[in-house]
Amino acid sequence: MAVLMTNLAEAAGGGAGAARREVNLPAPPATGMLSLEEALTQRRSAREFTPGALTLAEISRLVWAAQGVTAPERRTAPSAGATYPLEIYLVAGDVAGVAAGVYRYLPRQHRLEAVAEGDLRVPLAAAAVDQKWIGQAAMVVVIAALFERTTVRYGKRGERYVHMEAGHAAQNMLLQAAALGLGATPVGAFNDAEVSRLLHLPDSELPLYFIPVGRVSR
Ligand SMILES: Cc1cc2nc3c(=O)[nH]c(=O)nc-3n(C[C@H](O)[C@H](O)[C@H](O)COP(=O)(O)O)c2cc1C
């Protein structure tokens, strides 16, 4: 746990004495071990995980694949009118050097911002119609969206675009997990209100998709 303290940088801000804690992620390498074709072939939903913490390098690549910045005001996943409505949350349970808790990914800084403390994997699994296997994943990525960023420009049709974008980000992450030899599965069945409560989501955001990730035997 000593490592943990070095990775959690106390920063100014946060109300009522709540320090904002941030986790700096290593820069994602520009190359990987698998070709795109190999990752596409090997991607398979996994619901059985073997014990083993994820590393900071792995979660860095995963969140970067979902929403990493690749050029000024551009990200790994396409976005209608570059409005970027998605927010990526990590429910970390077994990540080396990262305290169990909820974190929000800050794409521009490639950093995690702590939102809540404690291991929420099992309550999250309960909120996902009690799919117990989700509680066994080392972490669960939750893709949430702030619809107004897109609907302010495209009106009602923007809602459709936001759902499409969640699919783009999820698929990027699933392929990255395959490329890293990790197991990951998209999950759509959960109680929105309960997940929003657990993750302390602002009223303006709605959870859209889970991606539990963990080690698997191959
Ligand atoms: C929109 C969507 C929602 C899904 N929700 C769940 C879910 O709640 N629980 C689950 O175990 N799998 C879920 N899945 C995964 C599918 O069951 C899985 O992709 C499908 O069986 C095909 O298997 P494959 O992913 O290994 O190719 C979901 C997939 C999609 C695309």
Counting ligand 1 atoms within 8 A of each CB, the residue from 43, 45, 132, 209 with the most, and so the one to mutate, is 45
As a whole number, the mean pLDDT across the chain is 92
Pocket of ligand 1 (CB under 6 A): 44-45, 47, 131, 185-189
Q: Where are the beta strands (DSSP E) in the chain?
A: 8-11, 20-24, 69-71, 74-75, 86-92, 101-106, 111-117, 139-145, 182-184, 206-215
pLDDT digits (tens, 9 = 90+) for 61-108: 999 999 999 999 999 999 999 999 999 999 999 999 999 999 999 999
- In whole angstroms, give the CA distance from residue 97 to residue 3: 5
Spatial separation of the C-alpha atoms in residues 106 and 188, rounded to whole Å:
23
Using alpha carbons, list the distances in angstroms from residue 130 to 15, 88, 123, 124, 175: 34, 22, 9, 8, 26
Instruction: Give the residue whose CA is nearest to atom 7 of ligand 1.
Output: 187
Q: Is 18 exposed, middle or buried (0-12, 13-18, 19+ CB in 10 A)?
A: exposed
Residue nearest to atom 13 of ligand 1 (CA): 187
Measure 126 CA to ligand 1 centroid, in angstroms: 17
The pLDDT-based confidence of 110 (bands split at 50, 70, 90) is: very high
The angle at the Cα of 78, spanning 72 to 84, to the nearest 5 degrees, equals 70
Pocket test for ligand 1, best of 185, 191, 210 (most atoms within 8 A of CB): 185
Tell how many helices (H) and how many strands (E) occur in the chain. 7, 10
Q: Are strands 74-75 and 206-215 parallel, antiparallel or unpaired?
A: unpaired
- Least-confidence region, from 32-36, 65-69, 142-146: 32-36
pLDDT for position 12: 35
Yes or no: say if 17 and 59 are a contact pair by the CB < 8 Å rule. no
Which architecture characterizes domain 25-215 according to CATH?
3-Layer(aba) Sandwich (3.40)
161-188 pLDDT, tens per residue?
A: 999 999 999 999 999 999 999 999 999 9
CA of 46 to the centre of ligand 1 (A): 10
Are residues 80 and 58 in contact, defined by beta-carbon separation less than 8 angstroms? no
Q: How far is the CA of 48 from the centre of ligand 1 (A)?
A: 14
Helix (H, G, I), strand (E, B) or coil at 80: helix
